[in-house]
Chain A
Amino acid sequence: MREFTYQRALDVSGAVALLDADPDARFLGGGTNLVDLMKTGVERPAQLVDVRELPLDHIEVTGDGGLRIGATVTNSDLAAHPEVRGRYPALAQAVLAGASGQLRNMATIGGNLLQRTRCGYFADVTKPCNKRVPGSGCPAATGEHHNHAILGASEHCVATHPSDMGVALAAFDAVITYETIDGPGELPLAEFYLPVGDTPHLETALPPGALITGVTLPPAPVAAHSRYRKVRERASYAFAIGSIAAALDARDGVVRDVRLAFGAVASHPWRARTAERALVGAPADAAAFAAAADAELAAAKPLPHNGYKVTLMRNLVVAVLTELAEEAAR
């Protein structure tokens, strides 16, 4: 591991100033991803600016009935919070579906959004990887890719984003707030992650040196009727091979409002807007759910070894929306 200096930030402006002065510096939150990547040499910062103790660890109900979640709130505290569990249950479920109890206690919301892909080629510095070393190539395209992307990828990178939390945030129109040396800014989650294209090393639209300060969830009554389901290769403590955050408002057998986002299928949490558009006003039944899933997945470009994900995601859409519709009908 490269040697590094360490500073504990006392306030947001101080943290931002430290990072602005050193392009080789990184913010340290829980460290569950960054420290791991530093051990393997994927990340080689010369300075760590520890932001874990910044006063950004609050969850508040906003005046309009949404939620504001501070960037240093841990995964555990987010998932345990009564307002999260009551207003956005799929968000609590998504966070609980990720990692282990130990890691959820350490990991922060800001870091969760910025965690790196678990693609094995990205993690192995002896292998080419366009995300880690631009232009070096992508062995995953012809190699081990059974858990890689089926949507929105490019020939340059087929890695997926590993966050469960992000999938629920995508479904609920989260807005990311940040601070830079020039002042505060915000990005809707839909614009936060950049398309892969030929620049897979550029992952977010955050300005250089920006510190994520929080996540705002707008009010969404439909979110109270939501669910997160994750499919993985063992029963617990594994990354998804496919996941879904879904919310449904159905009355008299007709879809009034619906939210759908997919995980483990793209370089970022995938908001399924095509499926949502197909569903509003449609019958709340399995045939309509399947048709909507097919409409969304028509854009899928599976690789030789991950075609199963198309079927998996279709089945997840039908299963989870059917459950939510049955609950609404009770």
Chain B
Amino acid sequence: MAPAPSSTNSAVTLNINGEKHTLTVDHRTTLLDALRERLDLTGTKKGCDQGQCGACTVLLDGRRAVSCLQLAVAAEGREITTIEGVAQGEKLHPVQQAFLDLDGYQCGYCTPGQICSAIAVIEEHAAGWPSAATDDVRPAAAPPPLTPEEIRERMSGNLCRCGAYVSIVQAVARAAGIETEAAQTEGVETEGAAA
């Protein structure tokens, strides 16, 4: 529905985690603020509010995006997935489980953004997308393996001020079905402690 041209707010219907939410937003409202302040979906975090830290990462039509630079009114019609929507009921998403198992966080503030980003990283890699860490981007070259270097480059839009990067890289690798040497060691210790 097209808003009246003289108006600076609009009624929008946002499709979030499979549910439709209808609300009236001032056009200046970012998707991030709509989620947190209007819809009580506070899992998505506000860090820099300038598109530089990745704490507000959500999935738009399955692709990761920073919700702080996405106007809510412009998100109408798109499939929005937040951290609240990535698990299947009580069963955590494999990326969530890997972050838990491998301590991919310290304070946890950046974690929802890290997890949403990592979910998309694994899909982008599976689709054959190269990255800035890929030696040869030509299609004739084999798709790059998801090495720690590739994970670090692909996750560089998500800052962690606690510096949990080492275990974040291990968690992303495990969720992708790749075991780094360090994660194997870490995993044995974790299991040993639990047993």
Q: Once bound together, how far apart are the Cα atoms of A39 and B154, in whole Å?
A: 27
B73 touches A6 (CB 8 A): yes
A102-118, CB under 8 A of B: which get 1 and which 0? 11011000000000000
Give the residues in chain A near B117, CB-CB below 8 Å.
101-102
Q: Does A79 contact B (CB under 8 A)?
A: yes
A31–B68 CA distance with the chains assembled, in angstroms: 10
Nearest to A53 among chain B residues (CB) is B77
Cross-interface CB contact of B138 among A79, A89, A100, cutoff 8 Å: A89
A8 CB contacts on chain B under 8 angstroms: 2, 74
Among candidates A5, A48, A235, residue contacting B6 with C-beta atoms closer than 8 Å: A5
* Shortest Cβ distance from residue A21 to the other chain B in the assembled complex, whole angstroms: 10
Counting chain A CB atoms within 10 Å of each CB, which of B57, B65, B73, B158 scores highest? Answer: B65
Assess whether A3 is in contact with B138, with CB atoms less than 8 Å apart.
Answer: no
Contact with A along B38-63 (1 / 0, CB 8 A): 00000000000111001001001001
Most chain B CB inside 10 Å of its own CB: which residue of A32, A35, A89, A101: A101
Given A52-B74, A92-B130: A101 touches B64 (CB 8 Å cut-off): yes
Shortest A28–chain B CB gap in Å is: 7
* Interface contact B140-A76, CB-CB below 8 Å: no
Least CB distance from B172 to A in Å reads 12
Picked from B7, B26, B137, the residue with its CB within 8 Å of the CB of A89 is B137
User: What separation, in Å, do the CA atoms of A30 and B31 have in the docked complex?
Assistant: 13
Known: A28-B74, A35-B69, A101-B117. A96 touches B3 (CB 8 A): no
Residues facing A in B96-153 (CB within 8 A) are 117, 120-121, 124, 127-132, 134, 136-140, 152-153
What is the number of residues of chain A that contact chain B, defined by CB distance less than 8 Å? 41
A96-B131 CB under 8 A given contacts A35-B71, A76-B63, A102-B157: yes
Min distance, Cβ B81 to any Cβ of chain A, angstroms: 13
Query: A230 to nearest B CB, angstroms?
Result: 8
Is A6 within 8 A of B27, CB to CB? yes
A97 contacts chain B at the CB level, 8 A cutoff: yes
**B47 nearest CB across to chain A (Å):** 12
A9-36 with Cβ < 8 A to chain B = 28, 30-32, 35-36
Contacts of A5 in B (CB 8 A): 3, 5-8, 27
Tell yes or no: A7 within 8 A of B by CB: yes
Nearest Cβ distance between residue A123 and chain B, in whole angstroms?
10
Q: Flag if A36 contacts B51 (CB, 8 Å).
A: yes
Cβ-defined contact, A39 with B71, below 8 A = no
Cβ 8 A contact of A31, one of B69, B140, B153: B69
Question: How far apart are the CA atoms of A28 and B72 in the complex, in Å?
Answer: 13
> CB distance B137 to A85 under 8 Å?
yes
Query: Are B124 and A101 in touch, CB under 8 angstroms?
Result: yes
Residue among B8, B63, B132 with the highest chain A CB neighbour number at 10 A: B132
Is A315 on the interface with B (CB-CB < 8 A)? no
User: Which are the 4 A-B pairs with shortest beta-carbon distances?
Assistant: A100-B157, A236-B156, A3-B8, A237-B156
Residues of A within 8 A of B (CB): 1, 3-8, 28, 30-32, 35-36, 38-39, 47-48, 50, 52, 76, 79-80, 82, 85-86, 89, 92-93, 96-97, 99-103, 105-106, 230, 235-237
Sample of 12 more A-B contacts, CB < 8 Å, known A100-B157, A106-B65: A3-B8, A7-B2, A32-B66, A48-B71, A76-B129, A85-B130, A86-B138, A86-B139, A96-B134, A99-B157, A100-B158, A102-B51
